[in-house]
């Protein structure tokens, strides 16, 4: 049976075939499963071409997912037919058309190998006899389908398939989802449980553990974990230098991936949990502080590629942030509650209350806010407490204790009775040095440290644990009670289980001890003053008055108006120590005239400027103002009317339990007291004033404590609001927009703007803003290039917060003119008391600077992603205090940290998606193109043919093709599709198949191009066109018939002739007009003549200097060229282009072919 042309060549039928092929190409460029692919191939071949087909695939495909559910039999066969097996071995198309079918082959068959390059995946068998109406070009179509099908198989097999991309993109999305669901959780315990479940559930890891630093001891970690059995009870993990992957990660603060436990070089399999094959450990860092670590364990090897690390890295940052937020919230809440409670305790103190009652109240409070089984309060015997620290232990008296009986009942012992006896032996009697200090050196360690201490050695017992017979790993915390640097006692809490107390307990205990000290000391003061009715009345009045006031100004006002009357003087005035500028400042006066008050107000008392204040600060004792303690200048300016012989002013310290917070000056000049009053009266007065001053100082300090705690709570709440804003939006611009809007509300900022760094163009781009007019924004500029805005460049380069003091007439458009001398960097200093970075501004330089422009780097791990500028609000009067500014900077710094995370997240996502999609497209496009280019050119007697194809990074749609038309004639095609990348590659496969099909049917090149154009039109969208040169050569005569549709004219060089002939255009490029006229020309290629075909990638190659290679350079090269071989000719041209572009990437594909008719031998 021979192939008959179909009687009516039908465009419509062909067009539908094109569409099928195009759709197959589309399927290839998107997600596909093997099953859908086979079904589709079967569908098009059966429905468009009416062939019955059978597909056989190599056994390696049997375990590829997606094949289940596909009934073997009709389409997919499990056993190859003899011809399929032959095709598989021989890697070429075989048909038995025209021969007598072998046994077992019922009819005429054609089998196409499914292969890419030399790799065969299976075979596609066509049952020729089953087709009724057949067109000759159908085989070309089916070979085209086979090629695309093969490519798809190639991708599936080599796992270049998008599954992988989906997986990595999936990680990012999952990490983001987890981040979102944990960031808004403020409950620490539920946060951790939630996090564990999410990690376990989303990623399906066998085990997930979280290690949390406990704060008290850097080597002790709280470990909580989850496995398929659920959440495991909390354990303690001890960090050790050296062994173990977790310790490795903690010591280096770097992520650790172990992808095959048994092959690990650094660790032995015993270092890992049972059945674990691979694991990933990430340190959790908040800013630069270590919070803990998370460990993900899998029972399979190789679960953690480096590509997922970035997603996890970001997740780790978010986890650290969430933990940090929850901890802040937790401790702020706790401390606040405790504070309120203790305030109440102090408030209910009265002279009638006994010390024992007070201690019981304190024990009640301890029971409410701490976990313990036994607690005790030891107090120093007051009378003897004058000899200095270290000597006191011998005089400690067990003043109160409590045992929570319930905890003991579990142990089965009647400890309560027993211990009570033991305690009673100690109770209310001072303990001898030998008894307590030598037995329990831990107690003196606590007293000497002045801060609470958590018991951390199994060898150091303290009395409670020892008496109660706790195991050696029991927990204890001791808090010393200090007032004016004098110890008054110690509180000890104990718990029979290990590791009950952490940094949280520590800070709570510290706060508790301070309040307890005040309460005890106050009570003692009352007691001591009991006989002196008037003193106690004064003190009680001061106490009553001060405790109920919540505002510093009101408090001071009350004190200065109350004290003169109580003490019997006319006037007094208060100076407070201002920590930020390190000076005493006048705050409030009573009884002085206006003139004097004005002089006080103008007086800033820096250390070294007034001897009286220096002495006060140094000794903490009252100072009489006399000629020694005041300089002449001060006397002249501040006390011009003061008569040193007659008048008397005394400066008293305002000292709370720890520090000097100010001074109070009494004017005794016109009082009943005189310089010559008896020593006794003076002492009494001094005692009274000292008591009142202490009350006042305590009240001031309490107010400051409340204020700072409110600020701390405020900071964390501000940051939480930002965090919540961030998680509630998906788009970066929405997130940044909410940040620039929230910031002004939170911290009193007038304008706020974010610039993002574009690291491709190396410019800053305006992003979101608040408080700017359209005009101001324009003046600032959308895009900021180098040297246009030195202020933000400095922030970027130094990676530090910078500020600049604005003048009243500075407006946004002058910001870019701020020169390097006019701004300063803020140094971040790590303060001793807390892990937070505290912001310190230079007080002197900022004095009277009403408005600052402050710029923050938006950076992550030293990479600056952008800059945020804030402009302070215009103050109502004066300039904002340093404290407010520092606080503001701290809050905004926290906000910018979160903004940076959001930006980085977005960049990572974008990059991941873009680069993966692009890479995949590029790869696929190149792959398609390579597949459709001839593997090798035929070896034709008398002819020497070579070709080159060098794809640009973004593949253009170049191709060449050679067709064996009959024994004497070959067809040669060179073409260029006007597009790049995937669309060009797909279009090119269409053109190639179309030309092949048309060439089988028509012998005239003009007719072939015309038919291709006709078929292209319906598909050609958006001006898509292709330039094609197609020629038919007679091998024997050298006659060449060609048509050129807008392609770069091939060059013919005749032997012994200098000039070249250009085979110019005979019609317009294809795909533009519906109907085109195509001219056809011919010439004879004589022996020794050659023809060069090329695409515009050659003549339009650009050099680094943006020069174009051009036709002239090509001509110069060819005109002086002595022909050696077609191969050498092409090498020469490619070499010349390479030299010209010198390392610049090709902007377009370079495609060349040379056809040489060998001289007759």
Partner 1 sequence: MEITITPKENCDLVVIKGRIDSYTAPSLSESLNNITKNNRYKVILDMSEVNYVSSAGLRVLIDIQKTCKKLHMGEVLLVNIPQRVFETLELAGFVPLFKFFKNVDSALAEF
Residues near partner 1 (CB under 8 A): 954, 956, 976, 978-980, 1022-1025, 1027, 1045-1046, 1048-1049, 1065, 1067-1069, 1072, 1096, 1100, 1108, 1147-1148
- How near is the Cβ of 987 to partner 1 at its closest, in Å? 11
Least separation, in Å, of the C-beta of 1049 and partner 1?
Answer: 8
Q: How far is CA 809 from CA 112, 850, 874, 885, 970, in A?
A: 82, 12, 12, 21, 83
Relative orientation angle of helices 309-348 and 679-727, to the nearest 10 degrees: 150
Which H, E and C letters describe 408-447, residue by residue?
A: HHCCCCCHHHHHHHHHHHHCCCECCHHHHCCCCHHHHHHH
Q: How far is the CB of 1053 from partner 1 (least distance, A)?
A: 20
Provide, rounded to whole angstroms, the least separation between the CB of residue 1072 and partner 1. Answer: 6
> Do 868 and 899 form a contact (C-beta atoms < 8 A)?
yes
DSSP 700-741: HHHHHHHHHHHHHHHHHHHHHHHHHHHHT--SHHHHHHHHHH
| Dist. CA 531–CA 170, nearest whole Å | 79
Complex with partner 1: residue 1102 or 1123, whichever CB lies closer? 1102
Burial track 1043-1075 (b if 16+ CB lie within 10 A, e otherwise): bbbbbbbbbbbbeeeeebeebebbbbbbbbeee
Q: How far is the CB of 1110 from partner 1 (least distance, A)?
A: 9
Calpha distance 960→929 (Å, rounded): 10
CB of 299 to partner 1, least distance (A): 48
Is 113 or 983 the residue whose CB approaches partner 1 more closely? 983
How far are the Cα atoms of 946, 974, 1005, 1034, 1041 from residue 1082, in angstroms, in the given order?
A: 22, 17, 10, 11, 4
CA distance 299 to 117: 38
The 475-483 sheet, strands edge to edge: 396-403, 374-380, 486-495, 475-483, 453-454
- Which residues contact residue 435 at a Cβ distance below 8 angstroms, ignoring those fewer than 6 apart? none
Per-position DSSP letters for 340-404, written without gaps between them: HHHHHHHHH--TT--HHHHHHHHHHHHHHHS--SEEEEEEE-GGGTTS-TTSGGGGEEEEEEEE-
Q: Which is nearer to partner 1, 310 or 979 (CB)?
A: 979
Q: Give me the least distance between CB of 917 and partner 1, in Å please.
A: 16
Q: How far is the CB of 914 from partner 1 (least distance, A)?
A: 15
Closest CB to partner 1 among 174 and 1066? 1066
How many Å apart are CA 256 and CA 398, to the nearest integer? 52
Cβ 760 to partner 1, closest distance in Å? 12
**Rounded CA separation 811/874 (Å):** 12
Q: Residue 978 or 1141: which CB sits closer to partner 1?
A: 978
Distance (Å, whole) CA 1043 – CA 1067? 8
Question: In terms of Cα–Cα distance, which of 170, 110, 166, 177 is closest to 138?
Answer: 110
Least spacing, CB of residue 1068 vs partner 1, in Å: 3
Which of residues 788 and 1100 has its CB atom nearest to partner 1 in the complex? 1100
Q: Name the residue nearer to partner 1 (CB basis): 150 or 1067.
A: 1067
Q: Provide the minimum distance between the beta carbon of 1112 and partner 1 in the complex, in angstroms, as a whole number.
A: 11
Identity of the residue, 894 or 1046, whose beta carbon is nearer to partner 1 in the bound complex: 1046
**Computed from CA positions of residues 308, 313, 314, 315, in that sequence, does the dihedral angle turn out positive or negative?**
positive
Nearer to partner 1, 619 or 1116 (CB): 1116
Nearer Cβ to partner 1, position 372 or 1025?
Answer: 1025
Question: Whole-number minimum distance, CB 239 to partner 1, in Å?
Answer: 54
For partner 1, which is the closer residue by CB, 224 or 1078?
Answer: 1078
155's enclosing H/E stretch is: helix 138-157
- Closer residue to partner 1 in complex, CB, 740/924: 924
Pairing of strands 649-655, 1090-1094: unpaired
Length of the chain: 1161
Residue 498 burial (10 A CB sphere; 0-12, 13-18, 19+):
middle
Residues of 936-946 as b/e, b for ≥16 C-beta within 10 angstroms?
Answer: ebeeeeebbbb
Is the CB of 712 or the CB of 979 nearer to partner 1? 979
Name the H helices within 976-1050: 981-1001, 1005-1016
Could you tell me where the beta strands, DSSP code E, fall in 71-214? 76-77, 94-95, 109-116, 119-127, 207-213
Between 954 and 993, CB nearer to partner 1: 954
Distance of alpha carbon 858 from alpha carbon 895, whole angstroms: 9
- C-beta of 959: minimal distance to partner 1 in Å? 14
* CA–CA dist 1094, 1048 (Å, integer): 7
User: How far is Cα 195 from Cα 182, in angstroms, rounded to an integer?
Assistant: 7
List all residues 6 or more positions away from 1141 whose beta carbon is below 8 Å from its beta carbon: 1101, 1102, 1103, 1104, 1109
Q: Which is nearer to partner 1, 691 or 956 (CB)?
A: 956
Task: Tell me which residue of 159, 140, 1, 145 sits closest to 65, measured CA to CA.
Answer: 159
CB of 1144 vs partner 1, minimal distance in Å? 13
Minimal distance, residue 998 CB to partner 1, in Å: 20
CB nearer to partner 1: pick between 286 and 1025 = 1025
Q: How far is the CB of 322 from partner 1 (least distance, A)?
A: 42
CB of 1047 to partner 1, least distance (A): 8
C-beta closer to partner 1: residue 304 or 1029: 1029
Region at 1041 (left for phi over 0; alpha for psi -120 to 50; beta for the rest):
beta
Nearer to partner 1, 94 or 978 (CB): 978
Q: Within the chain, what is the greatest distance between any pair of CA atoms?
A: 144
Chain CA centroid to CA 1028, Å: 51
Q: Among residues 261, 323, 337, which one has the least CA distance to residue 298?
A: 261
Closest separation between CB of residue 869 and partner 1, Å?
30
């Amino acid at each position: 049976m021979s192939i008959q042309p179909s009687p009516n060549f039908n465009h419509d039928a062909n067009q539908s075939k094109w569409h099928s092929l195009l759709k197959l190409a589309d399927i290839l460029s998107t997600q596909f499963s093997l099953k859908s692919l086979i079904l589709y191939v079967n569908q098009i071949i059966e429905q468009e071409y009416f062939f019955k087909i059978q597909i056989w695939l190599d056994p390696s495909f049997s375990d590829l997912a997606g094949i289940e559910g596909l009934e073997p039999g009709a389409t997919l066969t499990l056993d190859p037919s003899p011809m399929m097996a032959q095709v598989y071995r021989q890697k070429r198309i075989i048909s038995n058309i025209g021969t007598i079918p072998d046994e077992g082959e019922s009819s005429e068959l054609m089998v196409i190998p499914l292969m890419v390059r030399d790799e065969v995946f299976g075979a596609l068998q066509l049952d020729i006899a089953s087709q009724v109406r057949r067109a000759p070009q159908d085989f070309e179509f089916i070979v085209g389908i086979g090629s695309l099908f093969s490519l798809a198989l190639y991708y599936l097999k080599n796992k270049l398939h998008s599954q992988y991309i989906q997986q990595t993109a999936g990680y990012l999305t999952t990490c983001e989802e987890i981040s979102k669901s944990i960031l808004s959780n403020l409950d620490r315990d539920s946060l951790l449980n939630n996090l564990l479940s999410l990690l376990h559930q989303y990623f399906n890891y066998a085990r997930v553990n979280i290690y949390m630093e406990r704060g008290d001891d850097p080597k002790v970690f709280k470990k909580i974990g989850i496995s398929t059995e659920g959440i495991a009870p909390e354990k303690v993990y001890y960090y050790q230098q050296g062994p173990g992957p977790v310790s490795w990660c903690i010591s280096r603060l770097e992520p650790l991936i172990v992808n095959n436990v048994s092959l690990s070089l650094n660790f032995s399999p015993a270092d890992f949990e049972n059945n674990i094959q691979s694991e990933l450990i990430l340190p959790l860092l908040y800013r630069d502080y270590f919070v803990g670590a998370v460990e993900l364990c899998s029972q399979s090897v190789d679960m953690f590629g480096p590509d997922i690390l970035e997603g996890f890295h970001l997740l780790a940052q978010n986890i650290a942030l969430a933990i940090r937020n929850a901890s802040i919230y937790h401790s702020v809440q706790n401390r606040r509650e405790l504070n309120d409670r203790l305030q109440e305790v102090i408030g209910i103190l009265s002279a009638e209350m006994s010390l024992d009652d007070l201690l019981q109240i304190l024990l009640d409070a301890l029971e409410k806010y701490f976990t313990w089984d036994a607690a005790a309060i030891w107090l120093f015997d007051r009378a003897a407490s004058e000899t200095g620290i270290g000597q006191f232990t011998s005089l400690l008296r067990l003043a109160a204790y409590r045992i929570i009986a319930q905890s003991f009942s579990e142990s089965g012992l009647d400890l309560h009775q027993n211990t009570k006896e033991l305690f009673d032996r100690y109770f209310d009697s001072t303990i001898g040095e030998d008894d307590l200090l030598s037995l329990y050196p831990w107690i003196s360690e606590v007293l000497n440290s002045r801060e609470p201490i958590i018991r951390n050695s199994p060898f150091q017992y303290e009395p409670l644990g020892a008496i109660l017979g706790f195991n050696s790993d029991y927990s204890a915390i001791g808090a010393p009670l200090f007032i004016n640097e004098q110890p008054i006692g110690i509180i000890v809490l104990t718990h029979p289980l290990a590791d009950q107390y952490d940094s949280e307990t520590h800070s709570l205990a510290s706060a508790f001890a301070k309040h307890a000290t005040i309460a005890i000391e106050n009570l003692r003061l009352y007691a001591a003053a009991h006989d002196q009715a008037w003193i106690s009345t004064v003190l009680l009045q001061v106490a009553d008055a001060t405790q109920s006031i919540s505002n510093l100004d009101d408090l001071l006002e009350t004190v200065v108006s109350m004290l003169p009357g109580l003490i019997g003087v006319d006037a007094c005035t208060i100076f407070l120590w201002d920590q930020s500028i390190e000076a005493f400042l006048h705050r409030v006066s009573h009884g002085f005239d206006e003139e004097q008050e004005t002089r006080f107000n103008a007086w800033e008392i820096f250390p070294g400027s007034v001897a009286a204040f220096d002495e006060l600060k140094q000794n903490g004792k009252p100072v009489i103002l006399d000629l020694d303690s005041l300089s002449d200048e001060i006397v002249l300016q501040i006390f011009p009317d003061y008569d040193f012989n007659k008048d008397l002013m005394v400066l008293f310290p305002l000292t709370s339990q720890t520090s000097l917070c100010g001074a109070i000056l009494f004017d005794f000049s016109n009082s009943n007291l005189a310089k010559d009053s008896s020593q006794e009266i003076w002492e009494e007065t001094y005692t009274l004033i000292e008591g009142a001053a202490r009350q006042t100082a305590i009240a001031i300090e309490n107010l400051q404590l409340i204020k700072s705690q409110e600020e701390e709570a405020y900071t964390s709440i501000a940051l939480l609001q930002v965090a919540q804003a961030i998680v509630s939006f998906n788009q970066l611009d929405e997130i940044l927009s909410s940040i620039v809007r929230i910031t002004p509300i939170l911290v009193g900022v007038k304008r706020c703007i974010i610039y993002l760094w574009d690291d491709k163009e190396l410019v800053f781009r305006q992003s979101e803003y608040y408080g700017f007019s359209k005009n101001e924004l324009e003046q600032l500029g959308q895009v900021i290039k180098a040297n246009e805005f030195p202020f933000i460049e400095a922030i970027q380069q130094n990676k530090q917060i910078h500020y600049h003091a604005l003048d009243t007439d500075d407006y946004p458009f002058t910001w870019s003119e701020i020169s390097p001398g006019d701004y300063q960097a803020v140094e971040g200093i790590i303060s001793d008391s807390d892990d937070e970075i505290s912001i310190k501004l230079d007080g002197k330089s900022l004095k009277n600077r009403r408005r600052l422009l402050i710029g923050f780097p938006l950076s992550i791990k030293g990479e600056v992603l952008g800059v945020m500028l804030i402009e302070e609000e215009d103050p109502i009067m004066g300039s904002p205090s340093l404290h407010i500014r520092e606080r503001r900077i701290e809050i905004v710094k926290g906000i910018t940290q979160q903004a940076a995370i959001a930006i980085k997240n977005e960049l990572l996502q974008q990059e991941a998606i873009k680069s993966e999609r692009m890479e995949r497209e590029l790869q696929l496009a190149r792959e398609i193109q390579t597949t459709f280019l001839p593997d090798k050119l035929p070896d034709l007697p008398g002819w020497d043919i070579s070709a080159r194809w060098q794809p640009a990074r973004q593949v253009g749609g170049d191709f060449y093709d050679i067709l064996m038309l009959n024994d004497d004639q070959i067809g040669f095609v060179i073409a260029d599709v006007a597009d790049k990348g995937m669309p060009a590659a797909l279009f090119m496969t269409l053109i190639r198949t179309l030309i092949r099909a048309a060439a089988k049917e028509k012998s005239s090149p003009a007719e072939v191009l015309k038919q291709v154009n006709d078929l292209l039109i319906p598909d050609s969208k958006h001006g898509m066109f292709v330039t094609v040169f197609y020629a038919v050569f007679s091998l024997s005569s050298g006659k060449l018939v060609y048509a050129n549709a807008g392609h770069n004219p091939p060059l013919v060089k005749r032997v012994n002739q200098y000039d070249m002939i250009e085979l110019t255009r005979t019609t317009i490029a294809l795909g533009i007009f519906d109907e085109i006229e195509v001219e056809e020309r011919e010439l004879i290629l004589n022996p020794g003549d050659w023809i060069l075909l090329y695409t515009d990638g050659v003549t339009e190659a650009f050099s680094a200097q943006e020069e174009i290679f051009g036709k002239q350079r090509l001509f110069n090269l060819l005109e002086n060229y002595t022909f050696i071989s077609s191969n050498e000719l092409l090498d020469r041209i490619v070499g010349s282009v390479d030299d010209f572009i010198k390392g610049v990437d090709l902007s377009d594909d370079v495609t060349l072919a040379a056809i040489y008719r060998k001289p007759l031998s």
